Structure formats: structure tokens, C-alpha cells
Structure 1
Amino acid sequence: MGNKQEELETCACLQGYDLIGIMKRWWDGSYDWSVGMEGHRLFRKDRQGRRGGSVALYVNGQLECMEICLGMIEEPTESLWVRIKGRARTVDITVRVCYRLPDQEDLADEALYRQTGASSHSQALVLMWEFNHPNICWRDNTAGHKQSRTFLECVDDSFLLQVIEEPTRRGAMLDLVLTESQNDMGFEGTSGDHLVQPPCQSRST
């Protein structure tokens, strides 16, 4: 995992990404990893009592940002919300990094989608999620399973676009970046066994 950390730092330095979201990292007390990164502020949320499912977000240290709470008691998944203050003449952006369990129950999914719908109506939104919906075909926006179809309905109702174009794992699009508009942002994504890096690079206009 040390090599992955070095790879992440090199990528951030060379490409100049403003945001880097990471899902499904094993950050626990058994490893002494250096998870900080020069020039970036780290937000993270670890699953309590189990390995895997942790999420993190690195934000360019020059950006004004803060972790936020939507005021909802439902938080069934490993996720965090961070608000990025907009640069000159640009709106603030709310970023969510989330890991959805492969066997997540319908009630947890419903809470997740309610949060997404509520946040999408009030601010510019970028979602970096590992959704574990491998049966979705993004080319024609169809899915074979009921849970996946419900997820697609949430994406459509929230007016979100899925911007990762290449499969991230075993030919399936498991790691997603959803946003309301691509006009002011560029996205890139790569994946490893335990690390997903879907960076979102804001472009000033």
C-alpha cells in the first residue's frame, strides 16, 4: 500500500488535481501509513468495527473548504460531505464521497437517495461513489436488477450526469463520478485493488 500512497502523491503533484476522492481503503490501527499529502487537506471517515469501506477526500490546500452535515439523522453508508467555496464568480460546490456496500438493503439505499435528492436541489453537487451496481449499462441507461434501476431513477430525478467513461474494475463501472454539469470541471479516474482515485479538477474560467 506504500506504493499506492507514493503513486497518489506523484499523480496529485504532476496533474495538479484540486480534489481526489478515495473509497474502500483499509485505514486501521494495524498499519502505520502516512495518509497526509503535502499541499492538500485530508477529510476521512472510517467504518467502525469492520475493515474496508472507509472513504477520504483530499482537497487542494489553497481552496477554502469545510466538512458539513446535512442535518439528516440517516447516514447508513460510509460517506462524507465537504463544501468547497467557489472561486471568483463561481458557485460553491458540495462534494460527497461515498462507499455503498454490495449487499446494502433497500432501506439504506432509500435513505442514501433521499440525501442525494435533497442536496441536488440546493447547490452544485459532485458525487464520488463506489456504488457496486455492476449490471448497469451506462450507454443506454438500463439495468437488470431492481436496486440498480432504482439508483438510475435517483440519478435521473436529481439531474445528474455520470462522467466516468472507462470501466474501473473487471469490465464494470463500479466507481462513479456524478455531477450536475461538466462545463467547469474535468474528471479522470483510475482503479486498483483497494484504491479508487476519481479526481475532479476544477478549471477556472
Structure 2
Amino acid sequence: MDEEPTKSLWVRIKGNAGAGDIMVGVCYRPPDQGDQADEALYRQIGAASHSQALVLMGDFNNPNICWRGNTAGHKQSRKFLECVDDNFLLQVVEDPLRRGVMLDLILTKKEDLVGDVKLKGSLGCSDHEMVEFKILRAVRRVHNKLTTLDFRRADFGLFRDLVGRIPWDKVLEGRGAQDSWLIFKGHLLQAQE
């Protein structure tokens, strides 16, 4: 099945040593765009949102979205809002741009990635306002000291055997939900070790 074409451009900006890459997208969604093209755009946004450093900007032509209340009055706008929510995106433009309606948006995964958003007037005879902003990035990436498990190397057979040896009906008998959870969690973490 051929993918419905969308009016979008995606660029990965390679970070210097110690700084991660940034995914930048520019999109235009025509007001009369059909459901198939919308779904193709939402799939692109979903794929791009795997990047923690994502800045997505453009004219999405969803005039009936209330960003303060996170509500929409039209089916297509609700679908777009669902896409934004499902991909944990934040909309950072605060002032309506055209005729009191916010059509031109800047969406990002991290609240502190975009700053100094300013409206700069129209360019030529366009009815769009220019939106100027800075992409903020830390010079050095903070190294997380939280250890994570490598599930590719796990021995799930052994894990299942260790957890299966516990006589759960006797261990949890007469316990409340909180106590049962703590006992289960303790045995689970012990087996994990």
C-alpha cells in the first residue's frame, strides 16, 4: 500500500560530542486534507517522536482546538490532539497568530528545548506570522546513573522457575492488597537479581 503524501520536511541535526541529535520537522496540513493523509502525517509524527529532542512546527489548520483546555470541537482536530497527546508533545506558542486563531504551532517533546518564542509579523503578503524561537540545548549531556536491565540477556526460564517456586497462596494468605504487593515485589526483585 502506498503511503499518502504529506506536506512535511524532517531534518536530523547532528549534535556535537556530548550533545544528542535534534529532530526538526516542518509541516503544512491543508484545511481540506483527507483522513488518509492525516493518518500518514500522524504516523510520521509518531516515528519522529521517538527522538527525545524533537521540535515540530508548522500550520496544522486545526482552528477549533483550545490549547488551554486541551479540547477540540471537530473530529479531525480531536484526532490531531490525540496524536499530540499520544506522542507526549507540548505546544509552546501561547498567542493566537491569525484572526484570534492558533493555526501555526511549535510542538516539542521537552519543555525546556524551545525558548524565546516571539511573533515577528508577516513576511511579504502572507497571512501567516513569522514565529521566531530558539532551540535550547545543554552543552553536555547529563549522564544518568540509573541502571537499567538488559532484557536481551535475561534468562526468562530461570526467572519463571524462581518465581514459580514460591507458594503464593500460603505467602499471601490473609494479607491485604498493600502487603501482598510489597511481598510480591520483594520476591520479584530477588528473582531479578
State the partner residue of 1:17: none
Structure 2 residue corresponding to 1:183, chosen from 107, 112, 119: 112
Structure 2 counterpart SS, 1:165: coil
Q: CA–CA distance in 2 between the matches of 1:118 and 1:135?
A: 26
Q: Which has the larger radius of gyration?
A: 2
Cα deviation code 1:19-69 (max 9, x no counterpart): xxxxxxxxxxxxxxxxxxxxxxxxxxxxxxxxxxxxxxxxxxxxxxxxxxx
Q: CA–CA distance in 1 between the matches of 2:4 and 2:26?
A: 13
More helix by share: 2
Cα deviation code 1:79-105 (max 9, x no counterpart): 211111224532110101111101110
1:200 aligns with 2:152: no
| Alignment gaps of 5+ in structure 1 | 1-72
State the partner residue of 2:187: none
Residue 135 to residue 97, structure 1, CA distance change in 2 (3 Å): same
Structure 1 residue corresponding to 2:99, chosen from 162, 170, 185: 170
Residue 123 to residue 148, structure 1, CA distance change in 2 (3 Å): same
With CA pairs under 8 Å and 6+ residues apart, which has the higher RCO, 1 or 2? 1
Q: How does 1:89-108 map to 2 (within 5 A)?
A: 89-108=18-37
Q: CA–CA distance in 2 between the matches of 1:115 and 1:129?
A: 14
CA contact 1:76–1:111 (8 Å) conserved in 2? yes
Structure 2 residue corresponding to 1:145, chosen from 74, 92, 95: 74
* Structure 1 vs Structure 2 CA RMSD: 2.1
The runs of 4+ residues in structure 1 deviating greater than 3 Å are: none
Number of aligned positions between the proteins: 134
More strand by share: 1
1:77 aligns with 2:21: no
CA contact 1:162–1:179 (8 Å) conserved in 2? yes
CA contact 2:54–2:108 (8 Å) conserved in 1? yes
Q: How does 1:22-171 map to 2 (within 5 A)?
A: 74=3, 76-171=5-100
